[in-house]
Amino acid sequence: MFARFGFGAPGLNVVGITLDKRGQAWYTLSRLQMLDVDVRMAEKLKHLRAVEGQLRGLGRPLTKTEVTRLMRAEVGEGLSLPYLSQIEAGKRPHLTAKTRAVLARFFRVHPSYLVDDPEGFEESIRSAVEPVPADIGEWLSRRAEEQRDDPDLYEALLRLAAQPDPRGVLLAVGRALAAAPSRPDGAQEVADAGR
């Protein structure tokens, strides 16, 4: 089950909730919008306190005191207030696996969310594959550039790309090839048919 919703609090964007097999809710959070700064775990915890406060209908972030009290009541274990404060202040950048697991269970996020983003981290995926051009003439021009080592092929592709209807020309060549006899000099017959 997946529900989409959002909250109006500034900087707060919960984009969904997923329920697991046990009915446990897991929040889907958007990446914090920071100006070209990697998101640190301390900022993520502040963000999670804000989300949790909104989800509980408080209209404000949970205080650290509320987090420690609720964590013990709901999860059965928790962190001390000074320790949580040190984590949020960035003085404890590395958590133990147990601390990360307790925080993840309380905030209902995956434990891997509770780490600093590595230097240069980007949420989006970039690809070295160039986008497919909508125009076949543009596509042919790009392929021509790849064939610069073969001047005849390069020129032929550029001439084809410059045609008013390069698709129509390619289809005509395809039809001519289909009609040509299957023999070594068939290419010459196709060339003659195009004239």
pLDDT digits (tens, 9 = 90+) for 101-134: 999 899 888 888 887 666 665 655 566 666 666 7
- Mean local confidence (pLDDT), 30-42: 48
Q: At a CB cut-off of 8 Å and minimum separation 6, what does 60 contact? A: 53
Average pLDDT, the chain: 74
- Backbone angle region of 141, left / alpha / beta, with phi > 0 → left and psi within -120 to 50 → alpha: alpha
Q: Where are the beta strands (DSSP E) in the chain?
A: 2-3, 14-19, 25-29
**Domain locations in the chain as residue ranges:** 39-113, 136-193
- The pLDDT assigned to 126 comes to 62
Summarised one tens digit per residue, pLDDT across range 167-185 is 999 999 999 988 887 765 5
**Mean of the pLDDT values across residues 155-171?**
91
Name the CATH superfamily housing domain 39-113: lambda repressor-like DNA-binding domains (1.10.260.40)
Any idea which residue has 């209807």 for tokens?
Answer: 165
* pLDDT, mean of residues 52-67: 90
pLDDT band, residue 139 (cuts 50/70/90): confident
* Per-residue confidence (pLDDT) for residue 67, from 0 to 100: 93
User: What's the pLDDT score for residue 72?
Assistant: 93
